Amino acid sequence: MIRQKVNRYVNEHGNSIVIHKLIHNIPLAAGDYEELERVLTEELGSKEDYKREYGDTPFGLLIRKIAKLDHDAAMEAFSAFIDDASLNQKQIAFVRKIINHMEQSGYMEDIKELMKPPFDKPISFVKLFDAKTRTALMKKIIEIKENAVNIVA
């Protein structure tokens, strides 16, 4: 029951500040997080309902998973890689695969996913990029996820 209410709420309130921020990869302020918590644990159901349905899933990640990540926001987040003249076509294709995943899922649960399908073909992440670029990509992936969880002052 709460799952349907949450999905409906997200779809109907995509223009609210907090959902807009989550869709566009903008860090949340304390007030945003409090509003999200109030809606999810008071308006749409109780804290117990939320915990039963979503476990320990942070509010921001739940909304991001439902609402997805905006294409332009994803492109902007990875623009340093897309615009990097030193990257070859295979590397750029890999970055676009990451972007596509982030758009569809809202975030990447664990950077270990980069070692699994669909990211392991035709060339693995480790073989495709040097250590510095791999680290930068992983930091960006983590940052996007954290923008849905961490609160900025």
CB 66 within 8 A of CB 23: no
Residues 50 and 90 in one domain: no
What is the Cα Rg of the chain in Å?
17
Domain boundary among 46, 67, 88: 67
Domain boundary among 67, 84, 99: 67
The boundaries of the domain holding residue 43 are 2-67
pLDDT, tens only, 62-114: 999 999 999 999 999 999 999 989 999 999 999 999 999 999 999 999 999 99
pLDDT, tens only, 7-53: 999 999 989 999 999 999 999 999 999 999 999 999 999 999 999 99
pLDDT at 83: 92
Residues 89 and 137 in one domain: yes
Residues 11 and 57 in one domain: yes
pLDDT at 153: 65
pTM comes to 0.93
CB 38 within 8 A of CB 59: no
In a domain, 27, yes or no: yes
